[in-house]
């Protein structure tokens, strides 16, 4: 029997979707705008250089929280995130409405967040991840499908939602490929409790990425999105800019060889991650020709740079 609880009831909000966490893109202004509209938003803890900055951001969000709004923090729970325990501690001490875990086991987050009465939603791409998260006590699943921006899954929205709805007892929040109200209605009709929407908000007035990145979301379309392994090793969706075309999207033979070495593997992975995120960071904020812009195919519906409130209206009109 599918879990009948909707995202609105889980978070006490009016809208059936939240603004997804996006590395370097999400910020407090975007989430505050979502809360004013009776919605929710989530920010990656990694968007802050230190936990003190994260703490200040949470305090600002608490100050602007509306009766029908909610906010969350996304924590990457794999070894690449060296500040994971401090980030979790600040979230629990300050109090946030929800935490989204990605790229690793949510065990510790669930245990500690539960004590602090914080809900935990876990990113999953397959049923086996979902069953593990359910066993550990997750409150909901974020079903990341093959249309998502960032580290996407490999199942289409319908297959993934239906499988998770039918084989788990948790509410399923669909992430990926929602650019219009019709897309949103469709995932809800498959049984999703709500949705997590990212790419359409990159070109928002409130996002602090470069104008060039926002304009790229306006002018490029779904057919311009490619998967690259150059950022973290895990395939990630980017806009196929001239720079991405020049450097290619596959690992070089030397990277592949080094990767097979059992002693060096860990360090090569870390080095590539640091170099890859550096490229993403400089192209998100500065003027450069080395543009590695993360985005998903739903940018096809981005026609102009607009305030968050207007983009939200697009999904509820």
Q: Alpha-carbon distance 187 to 198, whole Å?
A: 15
Count of CB atoms within 10 A of residue 262's CB? 7
Q: Where are the alpha helices (DSSP H) in 64-173?
A: 84-94, 107-115, 127-136, 157-167
From 199, 178, 183, 214, select the one nearest 304 (Cα to Cα): 214
| Count of positions on this chain that bind ligand FMN (CB under 6 A) | 28
Q: Alpha-carbon distance 251 to 53, whole Å?
A: 34
Report if residue 21 touches ligand FMN, rule: CB under 6 A.
Answer: yes
C-beta closer to ligand FMN: residue 35 or 148: 148
Binding positions for ligand FMN, 44-63, rule CB under 6 A: 44
Q: Give me the least distance between CB of 300 and ligand FMN, in Å please.
A: 10
Closest-by-Cβ residue to ligand FMN is 198
What's CA 124's distance to the chain center, in Å?
A: 12
Contact 77, 112 (CB under 8 A): no
Binding positions for ligand FMN, 96-125, rule CB under 6 A: 100, 102, 123
Report if residue 20 touches ligand FMN, rule: CB under 6 A.
Answer: yes
Report if residue 73 touches ligand FMN, rule: CB under 6 A.
Answer: no
Among 70, 138, 295, 308, binds ligand FMN (CB under 6 A): 295
C-beta closer to ligand FMN: residue 106 or 296: 296
Paired tokens of 109:
């987050």
Among 22, 61, 90, 184, binds ligand FMN (CB under 6 A): 22
Q: Alpha-carbon distance 203 to 224, whole Å?
A: 16
Report if residue 87 touches ligand FMN, rule: CB under 6 A.
Answer: no
Q: Give me the least distance between CB of 55 and ligand FMN, in Å please.
A: 19
Match 């999703």 to its residue by tokens: 192
Q: Alpha-carbon distance 35 to 14, whole Å?
A: 10
Q: Give me the least distance between CB of 232 and ligand FMN, in Å please.
A: 11
Report if residue 40 touches ligand FMN, rule: CB under 6 A.
Answer: no
Residues 6 or more apart in contact with residue 196 via CB below 8 angstroms: 17, 18, 19, 20, 42, 100, 142, 173, 174, 175
C-beta closer to ligand FMN: residue 178 or 268: 178
Report if residue 294 touches ligand FMN, rule: CB under 6 A.
Answer: yes
Report if residue 298 touches ligand FMN, rule: CB under 6 A.
Answer: yes
Report if residue 29 touches ligand FMN, rule: CB under 6 A.
Answer: no
DSSP summary character for residue 174: E
C-beta closer to ligand FMN: residue 38 or 104: 104
Among 39, 150, 157, 171, binds ligand FMN (CB under 6 A): 150
Contact 166, 196 (CB under 8 A): no
Q: Alpha-carbon distance 272 to 232, whole Å?
A: 6
Report if residue 296 touches ligand FMN, rule: CB under 6 A.
Answer: yes
C-beta closer to ligand FMN: residue 22 or 35: 22
Q: Alpha-carbon distance 245 to 242, whole Å?
A: 5
Please give the residue ranges that form the binding site for ligand FMN (CB under 6 A). Answer: 20-23, 25, 44, 74, 100, 102, 123, 144, 147-150, 175-178, 196-199, 202, 294-296, 298
């Amino acid at each position: 029997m599918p879990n009948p609880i909707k995202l609105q009831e889980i978070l006490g909000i009016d809208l059936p979707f939240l603004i997804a966490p996006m590395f370097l893109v999400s910020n407090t202004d975007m989430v505050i705008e979502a809360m004013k509209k009776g919605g929710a938003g989530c920010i990656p803890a990694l968007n802050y250089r230190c936990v003190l900055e994260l703490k200040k951001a949470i305090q600002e969000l608490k100050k602007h929280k509306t009766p029908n709004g909610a906010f969350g923090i996304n924590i990457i729970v794999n070894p690449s995130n060296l500040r994971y325990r401090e980030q979790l501690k600040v979230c629990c001490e300050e109090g946030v409405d929800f935490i989204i875990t990605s790229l690793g086991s949510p065990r510790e987050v669930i245990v500690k967040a539960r004590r602090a009465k914080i809900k935990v939603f876990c990113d999953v791409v397959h049923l086996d991840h979902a069953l593990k998260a359910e066993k550990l006590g997750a409150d909901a699943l974020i079903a990341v499908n093959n249309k998502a921006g960032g580290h996407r899954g490999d199942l289409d929205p319908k297959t993934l939602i239906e499988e998770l709805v039918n084989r788990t007892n948790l509410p399923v929040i669909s992430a990926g490929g929602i650019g219009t109200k019709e897309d949103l209605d469709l995932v809800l009709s498959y049984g999703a409790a709500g949705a997590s929407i990212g790419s359409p908000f990159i070109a928002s007035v409130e996002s602090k990425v470069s104008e060039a990145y926002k304009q790229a979301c306006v002018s490029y379309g779904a057919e311009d999105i490619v998967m690259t392994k150059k950022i973290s090793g895990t395939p990630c969706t980017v806009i196929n800019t001239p720079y991405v075309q020049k450097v290619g999207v596959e690992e070089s033979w030397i990277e592949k060889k080094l990767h097979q070495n059992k002693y060096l593997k860990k360090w090569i992975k870390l080095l590539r991650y640091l170099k890859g995120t550096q490229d993403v960071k400089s192209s998100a904020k500065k003027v450069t020709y080395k543009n590695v812009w993360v985005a998903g195919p739903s940018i096809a519906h981005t026609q102009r740079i607009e305030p968050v409130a207007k983009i939200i209206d697009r999904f509820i009109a």
